[in-house]
Amino acid sequence: MIQKGELVNPTEVFDFLAEIEGRFPVDQWVVGGIRFWPILRVHLAFQLDDFAVRQPPITSVKTITKQVASIANGLVQYVQARISDASHEASPNRRADAVILTQTACRFFSVEGRSYDIFSGSFNNILGKTGRTALLLEYAPKGEYRIPRYQDSIFIQPRLDYYKIRAFFKSFLRCTQEIPGFDDFIRFVNERVPGNAPTVRQIRLQISFMKNCAEYFKRQLLQSKATAGFVINYYCLLGMAFNMACREIGIPSVDIQHGIAGHHHPAYGRWNRIPAQGFEMLPTYFWCWSEAEAEAIRAWNKSCFQLHQPLVGGNLAIHMFQQADNDLVRYFDQLMLSSKMLTGKATNILVTLQTGRGIQQILKEALLRSPESLTWWIRLHPSMDNAERETIRDILKQVNVRNYNLDEASELPLYSILRHTDVHVTESSAVTMDAANFGVRTVLINTTRTQYFSDYISSGLVVIAKSAGDLLNEVEGIVKRNGAATVFRVGDYTELRDGERALENIFGNAGSPRR
């Protein structure tokens, strides 16, 4: 029996999902006119993943109180950000060829004092090269606004909070709708993975919230006269609502790959029961970094190819940072080279942390035993807040490691750091793929995550360390093979014209939005 919180490999999780899709008519489950299996699929997969940060259901008085306090604090943060950064608030009446749904946490770094969203920024660049414009909608789930903005956008979090409250009260209304086989599904899940089965009320709450969000997105898409919608992270409730809105008005939605995807991700791999009309919550196009991710979509989309299809457009952000003649790249190279930690003599190790995981014991021991020739660039996950940053800083002080950099490592662009990195160390970060594009090898320090990187392990780009000694030995071995203190790594990249071709495919097949 798989237990909640137990570290299980991706194959076990997918086998469990496949068993559900084989036993139950998940493609027929409808609430409020919406086929909701995608919500449950992703929910179950992440509940079984010890790396996922889970939010408790809004049921107890204590949980509700915390939610209300969070919303109130977020409203205060919004008002302050809205006033102080008013010059970068886009007009809701602005015309645009594309609407991009993103979040403030995607603004990973600052350029000359303004906060830059690497995903929407790189897409905005290529849209501009093809003569198109974009309008950004930004939400701030933790009330963190990261101002001033580099690009104009519309802050939408207060509206979403209102929809959340509205959906909560609406979920108490009695529902008489029958869902075929759902009671049997609940019993099955509770027997196999106790405590993970959702309730009908939770589903209704989520769908009510999503429908309200979709109506807002529809209004914004129609108002801007956009002919395509782009979303970073389609598999959260907001991303799925955005896809629903695009589908209802008859324009394509595009999921922009932002991390690990492919056969072992529940939002991308091994969908076994797709209805003939597809799922409203899934995007029309999956923008993939490479053929490997696209193949994961092709493995299941044969019966619905026109509704859900992959496009290989490449990682546009990496492409930008692999060009030595780019002004932005030169700007950050100078900042890197002026860092006191980048001496040109030490071996530079990038460590990418995971949200809610702290610093694992194997890494603590390696830091304790680390020779002075190693400099550790400890990078927080973008979704980690200031409280987590200080927790990590306290741990590093306790370990008494001297040669480390936390703030610059977390605030400078990832791809600038990779241009100067010798080795990458992580539990499970998608930075593993980014590092490979810069010719940087990764040492994986969690053996339960190896299936995500099986191709990289086979090619030798990823090695596994089961102890602190293994980790330090692997670092030493990689440096001996590659040479230390490498700067200005460039690696291989998908050429920009592949992205331009993908855009032409999207907009070429897009019709005018239906009012």
pLDDT tens, 7-18? 467 788 889 999
Q: Are residues 136 and 235 in the same domain?
A: yes
Task: Examine the domain organization and report whether 285 and 213 are in the same domain.
Answer: yes
Residue 515 maps to a domain: no
Same domain, 457 and 500: no
Task: Tell me what pLDDT residue 493 has.
Answer: 44
Provide, rounded to the nearest whole percent, the portion of the chain with pLDDT above 70.
Answer: 90
Does 451 or 288 have the greater pLDDT score? 288
Query: Looking at the domain assignment, is residue 442 inside a domain?
Result: yes
C-beta atoms surrounding 368 within 10 Å: 12
Residue at 272 is within a domain: yes
Same domain, 429 and 456: yes
Residue 350 lies in a domain: yes
Residue 340 identity: K
Cα torsion for 445, 449, 451, 457, to the nearest 10°? -20
Q: Which range has the worst mean pLDDT, 67-81, 118-132, 238-252, 485-499?
A: 485-499
Q: Report the distance separating Cα 73 and Cα 79, nearest Å.
A: 10
Question: Does 229 reside within a domain?
Answer: yes
Q: Is the pLDDT score of 155 beyond 60?
A: yes
Q: What percent of the chain has pLDDT over 90?
A: 55
Task: Specify if 86 maps to a domain.
Answer: yes
- Backbone torsions φ then ψ of 229, nearest 5 degrees: -120, 140
How far apart (Å, rounded) are the C-alpha atoms in residues 99 and 95? 10
Q: Give yes or no: residues 288 and 367 share one domain.
A: no
Same domain? 359 vs 306: no
Residue 307 CA to residue 301 CA, distance in Å, equals 8
Q: Would the pLDDT of 490 be above 70?
A: no
Do 21 and 91 have their domain in common?
Answer: yes
Residues 363 and 417 in one domain: yes
Give the H/E segment covering residue 442. strand 441-444
Q: Which H or E run includes 443? A: strand 441-444
Asked, for residue 321, whether it belongs to a domain, the answer is: no
Same domain? 183 vs 245: yes
**pLDDT value, residue 488:** 44
Alpha helices in 85-199 (DSSP H): 118-129, 157-170, 182-192
Closest CA to 321 of 420, 404, 228: 420
* Residue 109 DSSP code: E
Q: Are residues 287 and 354 in the same domain?
A: no
Chain position carrying tokens 């979403």: 160
Q: What is the CATH number of the domain that holds 343?
A: 3.40.50.2000
Pairing of strands 154-155, 34-35: unpaired
Q: What is the DSSP string of 279-347?
A: -TTS-SEEEESSHHHHHHHHTT-GGGTTTSEEEE---HHHHHHT-TT-HHHHHHHHHHHT-TT--SSSE
405 strand-pairing partners: 377
pLDDT at 269 over 50: yes
pLDDT digits (tens, 9 = 90+) for 91-110: 999 999 999 999 999 998 88
CA dihedral 106, 270, 437, 311 (to 10 degrees): -80
Higher pLDDT, 61 or 493: 61
Q: Closest Cα to residue 376, out of 355, 348, 344?
A: 348
Domain count, the chain: 2
Q: What residue numbers bound the domain in which 243 lies? A: 1-316+494-509
Spatial strand order in the sheet of 374-379: 404-405, 374-379, 347-352, 423-426, 441-444, 462-464
Is it true that the peptide bond before 38 is cis, omega within 30 degrees of 0? no
Strand order in the sheet with 228-232: 154-155, 134-139, 98-103, 228-232, 253-256, 285-288, 309-312
State the pLDDT at residue 483: 56
Q: pTM of the entire structure?
A: 0.86
Q: Are 407 and 311 found together in one domain?
A: no
pLDDT of residue 425: 97
Same domain, 424 and 467: yes
Query: Residue 281's domain is classified under what CATH number?
Result: 3.40.50
Q: Is residue 194 part of a domain?
A: yes
Lowest mean pLDDT among 43-57, 136-150, 236-250, 361-375: 43-57
Which 3 state secondary structure label does DSSP give 475?
helix
